[in-house]
């Protein structure tokens, strides 16, 4: 089903000439809410019972092209796997000409007030099964680790304040890639450079492929620690293993690949200067 229809990219969604990578996360959750409404199991009903609606458990995605200010965006979302308490949705993001921008797969579970996964109501589950499609696109990054080089690690911490949270008083899905990006920019600053200095006519260090597992929520008022281990660097991608933890627990872990893009949003290779901070 079409969850976002012919929506023009907005100025506030941009980071420079292209949308911020976190914007994809927001579009995906907006689409989740539309699916929930369409299947008559809406967010508002779950929130009224102090639940966490459609919490991501595993999220994987790949970006084909980054949209820019002139782009029109459409998102389609369909169920591809339905369990007793979970539903995996396939999200396909396209431009105004129907050309692909990104593909994502997210497994969602609704969490009760006591922290357990809620079973899908039988009628809702049956409707989701009936609407499921047999489509299995591969998304996400490679996972190999380059052990031939001494690659860096770095970390940052963030206090979760009001602007970071959503309706269940938890850190919002869109904020996590922002925190990861800030950690990366702080690392570049420690190496004596910055995205602005390195950019030129390219847009480096843009999130491109990722697979993240969500183990526990990040609550308002907590401190989120973002640990980053660089596992591979080449002209096409910088691969980083991320661990996001709060309250002494691993909240999110996964692998993220960052790419470089031109002004139209198409992927291009990193320059030597963009890769130099990751040498040792």
Res 113: pLDDT = 85
Burial of 2 (0-12, 13-18, 19+ CB in 10 A): exposed
Res 141: pLDDT = 97
Q: What is the pTM assigned to this prediction?
A: 0.95
Q: Is pLDDT at 245 greater than 80 in this prediction? A: yes
Q: Report the helix count and the strand count for the chain, using DSSP H and E.
A: 6, 13
Q: pLDDT tens digits, residue range 84-117?
A: 999 999 999 999 999 999 999 999 999 998 889 9
In 3D space, the residue among 140, 148, 155 whose CA is nearest the CA of residue 239 turns out to be 140
Q: Is pLDDT at 148 greater than 70 in this prediction? A: yes
Cβ 257 vs Cβ 141: under 8 Å: yes
- Element housing 35 (H / E): helix 21-38
Q: pLDDT tens digits, residue range 44-93?
A: 999 999 999 999 999 999 999 999 998 999 999 999 999 999 999 999 99
Say how many C-beta atoms besides its own lie within 10 A of residue 136's C-beta. 9
Res 14: pLDDT = 96
* Fold that domain 1-139 belongs to in CATH: Thiol Ester Dehydrase; Chain A (3.10.129)
Q: pLDDT tens digits, residue range 173-213?
A: 889 999 999 999 999 999 999 999 999 999 999 999 999 99
The token pair at 213 is 């597992």
Per-residue pLDDT averaged across 214-223, rounded? 94
The token pair at 91 is 């999200």
Which residue matches tokens 């620690």? 225
Q: pLDDT tens digits, residue range 12-57?
A: 999 999 999 999 999 999 999 999 999 999 999 999 999 999 999 9
Per-residue pLDDT averaged across 121-145, rounded? 96
Q: What is the DSSP letter of 68?
A: B
Res 280: pLDDT = 65
CATH 3.10.129.10 placement within the chain: 1-139, 144-280
Per-residue pLDDT averaged across 117-123, rounded? 96
**Greater model confidence, 247 or 159:** 159
Pick the CATH number of 144-280 from 3.30.310.50, 3.10.129.10, 1.10.357.10, 3.30.70.1710: 3.10.129.10
């Amino acid at each position: 089903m079409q969850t976002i229809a012919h929506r023009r990219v907005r100025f506030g969604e941009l980071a420079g000439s292209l949308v911020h990578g976190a914007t994809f996360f927001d579009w995906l959750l907006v689409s989740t809410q539309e699916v929930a409404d369409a299947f008559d199991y809406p967010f508002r009903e779950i929130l009224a019972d102090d639940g966490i609606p459609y919490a991501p458990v595993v999220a994987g995605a790949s970006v084909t092209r980054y949209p820019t200010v002139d782009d029109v965006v459409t998102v389609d979302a369909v169920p591809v796997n339905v369990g007793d308490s979970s539903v995996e949705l396939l999200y396909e993001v396209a431009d105004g000409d129907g050309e692909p921008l990104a593909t994502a797969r997210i497994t969602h579970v609704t969490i009760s007030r006591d922290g357990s996964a809620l079973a899908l109501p039988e009628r809702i589950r049956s409707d989701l099964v009936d609407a499921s499609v047999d489509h299995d696109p591969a998304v996400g990054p490679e996972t190999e680790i380059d052990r031939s080089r001494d690659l860096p690690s770095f970390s940052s911490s963030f206090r979760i304040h009001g602007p970071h949270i959503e309706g269940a008083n938890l850190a919002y899905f869109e904020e996590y890639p922002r925190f990861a990006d800030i950690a990366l920019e702080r690392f570049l600053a420690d190496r004596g450079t910055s995205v602005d200095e390195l950019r030129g006519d390219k847009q480096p260090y843009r999130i491109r492929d990722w697979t993240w597992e969500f183990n526990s929520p990040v609550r308002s008022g907590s401190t989120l620690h973002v640990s980053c281990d660089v596992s591979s660097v080449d002209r096409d991608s910088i691969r980083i293993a991320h661990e996001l933890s709060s309250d002494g627990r691993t909240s999110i872990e996964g692998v993220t690949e960052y790419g470089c893009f031109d002004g139209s949003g198409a992927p291009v290779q990193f320059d030597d200067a963009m890769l130099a901070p990751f040498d040792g």
